[in-house]
Amino acid sequence: MPIVPAMSTMDQAIQVPISPKLFRKSICYPVVGCYDNKEPYNNAALEIPQSPEHIDTHFLLFTQETPTTPEFLFYDGNDQSIRESSVNSSRWLRIIVHGFVNNRSSIWIKPLQDELLKLKDNEFSDVLVVDWGNGAKFPFYPNAASNTRLVGKQIGLLLQKLNNIKGLSYDKVHCIGHSLGAHTCGLASNTINNQMARISGLDPAGPLFEGKDVVVRLDKNDAKFVDIIHSNTELALGVGLGSSEPSGHVDFYANGGRYQPGCPSVNTLIGDIFVGQSQAAFEQTSCSHSRSHGYFTESINSECPYNAFPCHDYESFVNGKCVQCSTSGCAQMGFHSIYSLGRGNMYLTTKSSSPFCGHHYLIELVLDRDMSATHGEILVSIHSNYEMLTNASMTLKSDADIKPGDVFHHVFSFNTNFDKVDYAIVHFNKAKTFLGIGSEKGHEIIVSSLRLKSIEDSAIYSAPCEARTKISTHTSETILLNRFDCHDSKANN
């Protein structure tokens, strides 16, 4: 039987055989209605939703009174389950919708559920977990992509009954969806005329959705407030598991959104594909894809603010060009983003391990004007109490042109505001030449100034003001840092 690739860059990882149903134009199911694969609903490789019986969606309600024992709600005629439910119209209803290869038992669901159930006062919440795992199984991604339409309709129908029977206002409904679940949240809100108060899209799925009509995917018109976290916009060849296009009132590109620090490399993924470990490859790739719900879960009750900054692109942000809030304001990624002023595209860095949230710091390195031009890479590591806080490439590549008087900036995150910074280690690697070409380039750099500045507060650490530190190729020098600012010192003199 011939094979149709589900995604252009993952055709070895996820494939679906041609079957006669690909040519079926429409189908109708009781209660949830009819579906076809005509444009714009031809996005899912011409698949149409599988039957409600096959998908077997379950709705599990958890409350602060019963945080571990769910109540099962039904949208399709069994109104008794809703009448007798503990749904409280004075509370928020937070809906959790998983994505591909997930279900109610997925490891991230319970931590998110628990954090939401801790909310108090105006955020007091019940939690509804939507389990459509039978319709989201590996490796049938096109089927799962199409099934979002039916599951979204089911959620919408349940919300209509909760509104009619329990008096639940749509202004108290917040849908949190990961990957395909993000688009499912949007489709659910479509069923109730986009009256949902909020949708949080956690790395909305890219394949079969990115660039498609907004009718089939999540966009900012689907709810009164839509916030997006992008964490895996690039897997290979410019395509990732998550979508790169902005789709919310505010879009957070964590660490640039392409992939996340501490996750396996693309080379690891490709190796697994070549040895036939397609599902293993998908799970490894999902590390970056899954960070989005890790960030969101951590943001709910954390004291760390996940500050993000408006900027043209991530490279500009990392290079220190966007470390102040514009007139439109900054934003806090995650649960509290709705209370921030900032809208549009926002950028931030995180740590590579949990807790992921960090305070932002800016390294500024200035080279002496009298040194010779060279090319290569400059790395700076910052140390506090013998702990390395970061090891950053100031040049961002190994063969950068390095000129006298150059000023380099780099933004990084650390989990707390540190009280004391001891020293920096600056390392210079001159780039190798080809057949002696470029050998006239200088063999050392001279650092005239090194500063570390906290972006969130006024803390500044500087190297000795008049120091000129020479660093030969393939060597390192230690530069002591003290709590003062050479720039202020020179201005006062």
Structure tokens at 49: 């939703």
d(CA 243, CA 57): 25
Instruction: Find the catalytic residue in 126, 203, 227, 406.
Output: 203
- CA dihedral 256→261→263→266, nearest 10 degrees, is 50
Structure tokens at 71: 């109540």
Is 203 one of the catalytic residues?
yes
Nearest to 202 by CA among 40, 94, 59: 94
Query: Which residues touch 88 (CB under 8 Å, ≥6 apart)?
Result: 63, 126
385 within 8 A of 333, measured Cβ to Cβ: no
d(CA 288, CA 83): 41
d(CA 405, CA 489): 20
d(CA 210, CA 213): 9
d(CA 459, CA 483): 8
Residue type, 248: G
Residue type, 202: L
- CA dihedral 158→164→168→172, nearest 10 degrees, is 70
361 within 8 A of 374, measured Cβ to Cβ: no
Residues flagged as binding site: 217, 219, 222
Residues flagged as binding site for Ca(2+): 217, 219, 222
Helix (H) or strand (E) segment spanning residue 123: none
Instruction: Find the catalytic residue in 179, 244, 286, 290.
Output: 179
- For β-strands 92-97 and 173-178, DSSP reports them as parallel
d(CA 250, CA 131): 27
d(CA 337, CA 250): 8
Catalytic residues: 179, 203, 289
